[in-house]
Amino acid sequence: RMNKAIVQSMRAILPAWKTTPIAILHRESGIPPITQLLEARRYCFSARLKSLDETHPLAKRTLPPRQPTYHQLIKRKYQAPTESSFRTRLRRTNELLAPCPRPALMQKCFGKGQDTPLQTAPKGESAKAFLQWVSTVDPATWIVYSDGSLSSEGAASYGFAIHQKDLSICDGSGRLGPAEVFDAEATGALEGLKAALNLPGSAARDIVVCLDNLAAATCLWGTPSDSSQAVFVEFQALAASHGATQVRWIPGHTDIPGNEQADKLAKAASSLPEPEGAQPTLAYLRKVARQKPKEAFETWWTTSVPEQYKRLNLKATIRCPPELSLPRAALHHLLAARSLHGDFAAYHERFNHDDAR
């Protein structure tokens, strides 16, 4: 029934002839088969399960069953029943994605001065204002520049550089496990703050942590994100214990020396080996949950593409195809020319339409 409803919806969207193959309708409308749509919802729900607090009822039900313990002096039929080892649908859905650190349910918090946005001007103006601020800052202030990077192979890494005025006094970098740029930005800020606090005389210094990711900077200053939550919590604890730590957003790729140095360190660290036993972050699993349905639809199309479409080398996408922006009459002629199902002599001869002119 669901498949019938999907087919009727695609026929309403596309001005195609009734004999047009179903596979073509899926490709031209950007709507995957119903089985793939349901599987996509399972992946989204699996990512949702990973984001639940460990005390959530659903999170408890996804745990694997514990090994039963029996008392030797009591007959087993009189002992409490053990947990079922059956892999329920909830457990199977949870196993679609790899395990990750579960975030804790936290109350929203707001840092000092949180009512003032981190970004108050366009990118170019913000860069000029920051460079002007650096030229007038107290020479005793340490500025921690941090940055994150994601290579074309998917390697997430971070880098940081500690400056005193225009002098670089310390730097560092590292590689993460399966993660996103957001996680690398947060880790870079934390490691940069740790390195600054380990330097001699850090207790008497003002420390300003500068990064070019507005989302990560907001979470460092306010409510920690679900992804890499432990990193944000640790950063806030260190900043509170130091008492003179600030977070500042800076625009990236605007020729700010410290930011450019941190960016180079982060990109160079992507060639480092991945840490052993590193679990994926929640942001990474959410990306996987979005990517899997796209890959499944593309794979299905390569095996189900009709013969008349093979010569066109058209790819399938779950996004709205650009052809749908055409006027309906023009779209009808385009689909007829592609599918060869239209008011053509060869079409009528193939289906033996004697009444066709």
Under 8 Å between Cβ of 232 and 225:
yes
Determine the residue type at 305: V
pLDDT at 80 over 70: no
pLDDT tens digits, residue range 91-130? 999 999 999 999 998 888 765 555 567 877 888 888 899 9
pLDDT on residue 236: 94
- The phi and psi torsions of 228 (rounded to 5 degrees) equal 60, 40
pLDDT at 171 over 80: yes
pLDDT tens digits, residue range 122-156? 888 888 999 999 989 999 999 999 999 999 999 99
pLDDT on residue 209: 95
Using alpha carbons, select from 145, 149, 137 the residue that is nearest to residue 271: 149
SS (H, E, C) the chain: CHHHHHHHHHHHHCCCCCCCCHHHHHHHHCCCCHHHHHHHHHHHHHHHHHCCCCCCHHHHHCCCCCCCCCCCCCCHHHCCCCCCCCCCHHHHHHCCCCCCCCCCCCCCCCCCCCCCCCCCCCHHHHHHHHHHHHHHCCCCCEEEEEEEEECCCCCEEEEEEEEECCEEEEEEEEECCCCCHHHHHHHHHHHHHHHHHHCCCHHHCCEEEEECCHHHHHHHHCCCCCCCHHHHHHHHHHHHHHCCEEEEECCCCCCCHHHHHHHHHHHHHHHCCCCCCCCCCHHHHHHHHHHHHHHHHHHHHHHHCCHHHHCCCCCCCCCCCHHHHCCHHHHHHHHHHHHCCCCCHHHHHHCCCCCCC
Cα(156)–Cα(37) distance, integer angstroms: 30
Angle value at C-alpha 259, between 256 and 261, nearest 5 degrees: 105
pLDDT on residue 348: 66
Under 8 Å between Cβ of 292 and 189:
no
* Burial of 357 from C-beta contacts in 10 A (0-12 / 13-18 / 19+): exposed
pLDDT on residue 122: 86
Query: Mean pLDDT of all residues in the chain?
Result: 90
Cα(60)–Cα(39) distance, integer angstroms: 23
Rounded mean pLDDT, 295-323: 93
pLDDT on residue 338: 92
Under 8 Å between Cβ of 158 and 176:
yes
Banded pLDDT at 65 (limits 50, 70, 90): confident
Banded pLDDT at 166 (limits 50, 70, 90): confident
pLDDT at 47 over 60: yes
Banded pLDDT at 71 (limits 50, 70, 90): confident
Residue 204, beta-bridge partner list: none
pLDDT at 345 over 70: no
Q: Identify the structural domains of the chain with CATH numbers, from first to last.
A: 123-278 (3.30.420.10)
Cα(47)–Cα(45) distance, integer angstroms: 5
pTM: 0.87
Rounded mean pLDDT, 234-243: 94
Using alpha carbons, select from 58, 81, 112, 127 the residue that is nearest to residue 240: 112
Determine the residue type at 13: I
Percentage of the chain modeled with pLDDT above 70: 92
Percentage of the chain modeled with pLDDT above 90: 71
Cα(307)–Cα(149) distance, integer angstroms: 43
pLDDT on residue 63: 84
pLDDT tens digits, residue range 280-304? 999 999 999 999 999 999 999 999 9
Lowest mean pLDDT among 46-55, 142-151, 346-355: 346-355
